[in-house]
């Protein structure tokens, strides 16, 4: 497979160069500005007592609802605000510090990794659809589906985990001080640069993969094959692209001109919930060091995609949200 990939890189070298530039532009203009500051902030927070504080204060709320310790609120909030893969990094951090069990960490991965509001409202709603309301609807249903996934998967945790107690430390052994501020800031920036470069690599590689599928005719062939079942082949092509790489798929779907624009919105809701293979591999690269299983994450993303689409469909039935021409 890897040898075939090299051959295809040579055969479609002209289009692959364009795709590489496009991927780099997408990463530099969209991913870095919206994600890098949050990555640095997350690293800095790991040198404070905020994690243990949240764990102590929210345990009585998170345990009955999600069947996980209160500390899970930390990666959930960060993942919701900043986007992929901040939630996964935060889950790995608290698991490494012994603040949750392995099973709880794997369940948390399924619902603490989400698209950020800046991406959904700004990129998808305003830039792609040209409509802020669509972005707000997609953000609301995306978060609601994520919470639903957390509640549902929490029921599958073993009973012995239900009343697990954690002695959250009140002080952090590596807490930041004025004298160590420079070192801590430098380490946080370096770690964040490493993560952002990894994400950039994934964006570029999958942009090239999509380009190869397009120019080889495989994507169109598959879309035409399924068009008698699902209808519009453009939607199928955009959907497959989104399953592979989220941003390119969302862009393709939003640019399909049909009278029933609710179809575009529903497909985008599904893709936002699933997130795509590219992001899945990003999450896998983050959690592999801690030997956490990716299976609950995949199950959670499929469930979130389905629920997100269902919630979006219900909202679009409200007359004031009728976007169809």
pLDDT tens figures, 27-61: 888 778 777 887 788 778 777 777 667 767 777 77
User: Does the pLDDT value for residue 169 go beyond 90?
Assistant: no
User: Does the pLDDT value for residue 170 go beyond 50?
Assistant: no
pLDDT band at 307 (very low <50, low <70, confident <90, very high): very high
**Are the beta carbons of 157 and 70 closer than 8 angstroms?**
no
Asked if the structure places residue 1 within a domain, the reply is no
Provide the number of structural domains found in the chain.
Answer: 1
Asked if the structure places residue 115 within a domain, the reply is yes
CA 109 from centre of chain: 10
User: Does the pLDDT value for residue 81 go beyond 50?
Assistant: yes
Asked if the structure places residue 256 within a domain, the reply is yes
CA distance 54 to 73: 7
Would you state the torsion angle of the CA atoms of residues 194, 195, 198, 204, taken in this order, to the nearest 10 degrees? -120
pLDDT reported for residue 171: 46
pTM of the predicted structure, to 2 decimals? 0.83
User: Does the pLDDT value for residue 265 go beyond 80?
Assistant: yes
What tokens does 90 get? 């935060």
Asked if the structure places residue 291 within a domain, the reply is yes
CA distance 56 to 63: 11
What proportion of the chain, given as a percentage, has pLDDT over 70? 90
Least confident range from 50-64, 100-114, 285-299: namely 50-64
pLDDT reported for residue 160: 46
CA distance 236 to 301: 20
Using alpha carbons only, how large is the chain's radius of gyration in Å? 21
Least confident range from 8-12, 153-157, 268-272, 297-301: namely 153-157
CA distance 69 to 54: 10
Domain around 53: 7-321
Asked if the structure places residue 303 within a domain, the reply is yes
Asked if the structure places residue 2 within a domain, the reply is no
Per-residue pLDDT reduced to its tens digit, 266-285: 999 999 999 989 899 989 98
pLDDT reported for residue 174: 60
Per-residue pLDDT reduced to its tens digit, 174-230: 666 666 778 888 988 998 898 889 888 988 998 899 899 888 888 888 877 777 766
Asked if the structure places residue 314 within a domain, the reply is yes
Asked if the structure places residue 174 within a domain, the reply is yes
pLDDT reported for residue 52: 67
CA distance 39 to 27: 15
């Amino acid at each position: 497979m890897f040898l075939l990939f090299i051959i295809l890189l040579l055969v479609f070298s002209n289009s692959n160069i364009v795709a590489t530039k496009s991927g780099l532009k997408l990463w530099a203009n969209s991913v870095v500005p919206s994600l890098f500051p949050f990555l640095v902030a997350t690293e800095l927070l790991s040198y404070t007592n905020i994690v243990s504080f949240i764990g102590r204060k929210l345990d009585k709320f998170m345990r009955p609802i999600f069947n996980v310790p209160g500390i899970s609120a930390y990666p959930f909030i960060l993942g919701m605000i900043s986007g992929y893969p901040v939630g996964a990094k935060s889950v790995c951090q608290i698991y490494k510090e012994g603040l949750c069990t392995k099973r709880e960490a794997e369940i948390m991965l399924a619902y603490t990794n989400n698209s950020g509001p800046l991406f959904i409202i700004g990129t998808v709603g305003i830039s792609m659809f040209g409509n802020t309301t669509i972005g707000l609807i997609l953000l609301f249903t995306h978060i609601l589906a994520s919470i639903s996934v957390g509640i549902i998967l929490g029921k599958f945790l073993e009973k012995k985990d239900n009343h697990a107690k954690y002695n959250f430390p009140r002080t952090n052994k590596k807490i930041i001080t004025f004298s160590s501020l420079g070192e801590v800031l430098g380490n946080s920036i370096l770690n964040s640069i490493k993560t952002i470069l990894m994400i950039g690599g994934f964006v570029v590689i999958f942009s090239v993969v999509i380009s190869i599928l397009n120019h080889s005719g495989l994507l169109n062939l598959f879309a035409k094959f399924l068009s008698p079942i699902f209808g519009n082949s453009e939607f199928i092509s955009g959907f497959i692209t989104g399953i592979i790489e989220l941003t390119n798929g969302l862009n393709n779907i939003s640019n399909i001109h049909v009278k029933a624009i609710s179809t575009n919105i529903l497909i985008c809701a599904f893709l936002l919930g699933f997130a795509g293979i590219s992001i899945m591999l990003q999450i896998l690269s983050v959690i592999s060091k801690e030997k956490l299983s990716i299976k609950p994450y995949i199950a959670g993303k499929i469930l979130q995609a389905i629920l997100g689409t269902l919630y979006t469909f219900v909202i679009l039935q409200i007359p004031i949200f009728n976007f169809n021409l």
